Amino acid sequence: MKKRPSDDPALCGQCHEEIAGNFKKSLHYTTAGLKHGVSPRFSPEEAKTFAGKVFPTACNSCHASCGDCHLKSPVISGVSAGLLQRHRFVKRDEGKTCALCHGGRVYPEFTGEYGGTPDVHYQKGMACLDCHSKSESHGDGTAQASRQERKERPSCVKCHPPGKETTEKAKSAHAMHGAKLSCSACHSSGPYRNCYNCHLGKGAEARPGFILGRNPRDPKMVTTLRVIPTVRDTFASAGIRMEKYDALPNYWGTVPHNIKKRTERTRSCDSCHEEKELFLRKEVLLPGGSKANEGLIAVPKSLK
């Protein structure tokens, strides 16, 4: 018996040629995002070691096969929830497929099981593929280094265009902050999972948090930040010291999937302009973290 028969997209490609061809280059299959997300920290020599020793076993081992989404739940930590609908193939069943690979952070935040308020879109009965297009899952035939390179990505304003607000308060708040704040900065309902102190083969520690700061990819925008658990000795056991560790910060912009119409920040100006606890400040930066972290500090002005 062949283990993971659909691991080679060519099998499904016998009938679904275009999808299988695209999928071979998709981020779900190549897991290239995991490689390119950390590679700026490596010297050329370290990059070779990472590509040869670490990536194939630690990162690429959890790529998705066709069957992981259309026939059975993917295997997580050696365990699978089994077939989705007996031996029938299914188009989508996000709660049993996406939810497992993305079950550490995204999905439990979305459903509220992480301990907060469920995302308003989940409350309305929406699931992953209602925002994330099929081409995000299958790829569009071009090889990409990260999801940031994808043209077709979810966007709040596709469904909620500026100017269509129903209250004056929302209209003026969006007009005033729209060019400076991401949607999630105000509409993420509360703490989301952050992982710290990751070590190759040992994993990371997780705890809830809520961090606002400059988006490393677009510093003029303040957004919700999530901690990147890579520490200086994450890959020490593979002989990688990360000579250029400080090339990247320890935080990335994130869209927590716990969106809510009204939050403390939409209710009160003071929650940002007077109480600064939610913002990344020098005194709360990760000890021993990247020097690039300081560039993400953004504390709003007092209105008084």
* Interface residues toward other proteins, by CB under 8 A: 93-96, 111-113, 115-118, 122-123, 125-127, 190, 260-262
Give dist(CA 247, CA 262) in Å, integer.
Answer: 37
Which is closer to other proteins, CB of 111 or CB of 135? 111
Which is closer to other proteins, CB of 164 or CB of 262? 262
Give dist(CA 260, CA 274) in Å, integer.
Answer: 22
Q: How far apart are the first and last CA of the chain?
A: 71
- The least CB distance from residue 171 to other proteins, in Å, is 18
Which is closer to other proteins, CB of 37 or CB of 256? 256
Which is closer to other proteins, CB of 125 or CB of 161? 125
- The least CB distance from residue 293 to other proteins, in Å, is 28
Beta strands in the chain (DSSP E): 192-199, 203-209, 211-215, 218-227, 251-253
Which is closer to other proteins, CB of 67 or CB of 118? 118
Which is closer to other proteins, CB of 130 or CB of 233? 130
Give dist(CA 104, CA 259) in Å, integer.
Answer: 17
Which is closer to other proteins, CB of 135 or CB of 266? 266
- The least CB distance from residue 146 to other proteins, in Å, is 29
Which is closer to other proteins, CB of 113 or CB of 152? 113
- The least CB distance from residue 93 to other proteins, in Å, is 7
Tokens 């280094």 map to which residue?
A: 145
Give the number of C-alpha atoms closer than 13 A to the C-alpha of residue 221, restricted to the C-beta side. Answer: 18
Q: Which residues contact 71 (CB under 8 A, 6 or more apart)?
A: 6, 83, 84, 87, 89, 90
- The least CB distance from residue 116 to other proteins, in Å, is 5
Angle (CA) 304-183-224 rounded to 5° is 80
Q: Which residues contact 275 (CB under 8 A, 6 or more apart)?
A: none
Please give the DSSP secondary-structure letter assigned to residue 245: G
Give dist(CA 190, CA 210) in Å, integer.
Answer: 7
Where residue 280 falls (left for φ over 0; alpha for ψ -120 to 50; beta otherwise) is: beta
In the sheet with 211-215, reading across from the earlier edge strand, the strands are 211-215, 218-227, 251-253
- The least CB distance from residue 166 to other proteins, in Å, is 12
- The least CB distance from residue 154 to other proteins, in Å, is 18
